[in-house]
A and B are shown apart, each in its own frame.
Chain A
Amino acid sequence: MGYTIHFTEVFPYLPLLLKGLLLSVAITVVSTLIGTLAGLFSALASLSHYLIARKTANTYVEIFRNTPLLVQMYLIYFGLGQFGVQINPIPAAIIAMTLNTGAYTTVIFQAGIQAVDVGQKEGGLVLGMTYPQTFRHVILPQAFRIIFPPLVNQAISLFLFSAVASTITVPELTHQAMFVDSVTWRTFEVFIVTTCLYFACTFLVSILSDLYERTRPAR
């Protein structure tokens, strides 16, 4: 009745798992880059003087922050398919993850921008800069210091949430792990190895971001 642990049965599949890890990293990097940019513009829209821009940005944020990523992914992959809009699994996952992380980074940017003292903005304007110039050269650099750690956190949690893409057959790490599990039936061993792979990646990122924060000049 006892269960004997056999890691040796999992080792032949290590290249497959690493391939999955690479795809996990790739879809996370792409979604994070586009999503963060989208978050920046959506934050600007939500803080602008234009009512329509504010409403649109806020609606976007509320919808995507208040629904599960899994549901969003199903809606984009399966749901749109019902209307004849066929998106392949990897693009569908990237779209869902981008929209999702965009909503979260919007809030991070909002907080960061608002945390910069109003005096800074007024100072920039008094010096004769236009608002876009003030934003680009005065507010954003200061806001970035504040939001860097939460942005890294968001990237890490998106990386971990990318496992959800396995349900729409994206062959990322979790999908490959489940596949290896169903060929070897070594559930414990497979997921221990998978855990270590995820952990190694996120741990590396947090060390790097720590180093970056420590080495950059104090303000």
Chain B
Amino acid sequence: MSRKVLFYVLVFALVLSFFAVVTCSLAAEEKSILDQVIANKKLRVGFLPDYPPWGSRTPEGKYEGYDLDIAAELAAGLGAQLELIPVEAPNRVPSVATRKVDVIIGCLTPTNERAKTIDFTIPYASAGIVPMVLADNKAIKTYKDLAGKKVSVARGSTPDMAIVKAVPTAQVMRFDTIADAFTALQTKKVDAFIEEDTFVFFTAKKDPRFRAVGQSFTAPELISFGVTKGDQNWLNYLNNFLTNLRYSGKNIELYKKWFGVEPASMVMP
């Protein structure tokens, strides 16, 4: 009998928490993140902690990368203190949707699926997708050789979707983090690891154990900031910030600093 009571109490608690969340999200509607950042002098930026040269950790424990430099510019412009929040690749969209961060600057592609849940700024960079294999693997010459092979990706990432589309017969193993998907290649769990070209070229150049397989097998994808849905004031501010970053030449300077090449012309007029 007492168990039955406990059960109903739990169901009731569940329903109650459900409504609490709804009301919270309604209450949060009143104020723009822009106003909050200005008032609190604090900007919470989500970024990828395991994805050089976009964002990574130095041996001293500090974070650095292209996205981190852009975040610093953004915070300086707002006169706010920068609070860096490492976010794993699959958690990027949920973390802005649930307002765990004010903005995500984490090599995030503005796909149509994601745009149903969060809003995106104008793009600030672009990236293609390239498979990476162990250097002694001579069998895989192009991405087409991945048919029937095991490949690792970060779950729900654009490489995940791209490889399923380009090589439907590949056995895709989905990991929680980019680091785990990469470890799977290192420990020979998979034949190839699929990621964005900037990361793959950067890693293959630095570490002779790995080899990039050709050039991108998809058209380059845009990279934008992600923000919570419907906060037009905040979105306007960020778009204006990115336009200024582009025309001042600062973005090109930062891009060259981290990637060693000029950004693609489709993003940089």
* Residues of chain A having any CB pair with chain B under 8 Å: 1-3, 5, 77-79, 81-82, 84, 86, 89, 166-167, 169, 175, 178-179, 181-183, 185-188, 192, 195, 199, 203, 206-207, 210
* Residues of chain B having any CB pair with chain A under 8 Å: 3, 7, 10, 14, 18, 21-22, 25-26, 28-29, 90, 93-94, 97-98, 113-114, 116-118, 155-156, 160, 173-176, 180, 183-184, 186-189, 228-231
Q: Do A179 and B156 touch across chains, with their CB atoms under 8 A apart? A: yes
Q: Do B116 and A178 touch across chains, with their CB atoms under 8 A apart? A: no
Kindly state the separation between the CA atoms of A210 and B28 in the bound complex, as whole angstroms.
44
Q: Do A3 and B25 touch across chains, with their CB atoms under 8 A apart? A: yes
Q: Is the interface of B mostly helix, strand, loop or mixed?
A: helix
CB contact between A2 and one of B29, B113, B155, B175 (< 8 Å): that residue: B29
Provided the pairs A1-B29, A182-B156 are in contact, do residues A78 and B113 lie with their beta carbons within 8 angstroms?
A: no
Task: Specify which chain A residues have a CB less than 8 angstroms from the CB of B229 in the assembled complex.
Answer: 1, 3
Task: Specify which chain A residues have a CB less than 8 angstroms from the CB of B180 in the assembled complex.
Answer: 167
Q: Do A1 and B176 touch across chains, with their CB atoms under 8 A apart? A: no
Residue on B with the closest CB to A199?
B10
Residue on B with the closest CB to A174?
B176
Q: Do B7 and A178 touch across chains, with their CB atoms under 8 A apart? A: no
Task: Specify which chain A residues have a CB less than 8 angstroms from the CB of B175 in the assembled complex.
Answer: 167, 169
Kindly state the separation between the CA atoms of A77 and B190 in the bound complex, as whole angstroms.
12
Q: Is the interface of A mostly helix, strand, loop or mixed?
A: helix
With contacts A78-B189, A186-B117 known, what are 13 further pairs, Cβ within 8 A?
A2-B25, A2-B230, A3-B97, A81-B188, A86-B189, A166-B176, A167-B175, A167-B176, A167-B180, A169-B175, A182-B156, A185-B116, A195-B14
Task: Specify which chain A residues have a CB less than 8 angstroms from the CB of B183 in the assembled complex.
Answer: 78
Kindly state the separation between the CA atoms of A78 and B176 in the bound complex, as whole angstroms.
14
Q: Do A183 and B113 touch across chains, with their CB atoms under 8 A apart? A: yes
Provided the pairs A2-B26, A78-B187, A167-B176 are in contact, do residues A182 and B155 lie with their beta carbons within 8 angstroms?
A: yes
Residue on B with the closest CB to A84?
B188
Q: Do B97 and A187 touch across chains, with their CB atoms under 8 A apart? A: yes
Task: Specify which chain B residues have a CB less than 8 angstroms from the CB of A188 in the assembled complex.
Answer: 21, 98
Q: Do A178 and B94 touch across chains, with their CB atoms under 8 A apart? A: no
Q: Do A178 and B114 touch across chains, with their CB atoms under 8 A apart? A: no
Min CB gap B106→A, angstroms: 14
Q: Do B28 and A2 touch across chains, with their CB atoms under 8 A apart? A: yes
Q: Across the A-B interface, give the 5 residue pairs with the lowest CB-CB distance, nearest first.
A: A182-B156, A81-B187, A185-B117, A187-B94, A1-B230
Min CB gap A10→B, angstroms: 13
CB contact between B174 and one of A1, A5, A77, A179 (< 8 Å): that residue: A179
Task: Specify which chain A residues have a CB less than 8 angstroms from the CB of B187 in the assembled complex.
Answer: 78-79, 81-82
Kindly state the separation between the CA atoms of A5 and B98 in the bound complex, as whole angstroms.
12
Task: Specify which chain B residues have a CB less than 8 angstroms from the CB of A181 in the assembled complex.
Answer: 90, 94, 156
Provided the pairs A78-B184, A185-B113 are in contact, do residues A5 and B22 lie with their beta carbons within 8 angstroms?
A: yes
Residue on A with the closest CB to B95?
A187
Residue on B with the closest CB to A9?
B116
Q: Do B173 and A169 touch across chains, with their CB atoms under 8 A apart? A: yes
Kindly state the separation between the CA atoms of A195 and B188 in the bound complex, as whole angstroms.
34
Kindly state the separation between the CA atoms of A206 and B230 in the bound complex, as whole angstroms.
45
Q: Do A169 and B117 touch across chains, with their CB atoms under 8 A apart? A: no
Min CB gap B88→A, angstroms: 11
Kindly state the separation between the CA atoms of A178 and B21 in the bound complex, as whole angstroms.
20
Task: Specify which chain A residues have a CB less than 8 angstroms from the CB of B29 in the assembled complex.
Answer: 1-2
Provided the pairs A2-B29, A185-B94 are in contact, do residues A179 and B155 lie with their beta carbons within 8 angstroms?
A: yes
Task: Specify which chain B residues have a CB less than 8 angstroms from the CB of A178 in the assembled complex.
Answer: 90, 155-156, 176
Kindly state the separation between the CA atoms of A183 and B173 in the bound complex, as whole angstroms.
15
Q: Do A187 and B98 touch across chains, with their CB atoms under 8 A apart? A: yes
The residue among B10, B29, B176, B230 with the most chain A CB atoms within 10 A of its own CB is B176
Task: Specify which chain B residues have a CB less than 8 angstroms from the CB of A1 in the assembled complex.
Answer: 25, 28-29, 228-231
Kindly state the separation between the CA atoms of A126 and B167 in the bound complex, as whole angstroms.
73
Kindly state the separation between the CA atoms of A188 and B17 in the bound complex, as whole angstroms.
12
Residue on B with the closest CB to A3?
B25
Kindly state the separation between the CA atoms of A167 and B181 in the bound complex, as whole angstroms.
10
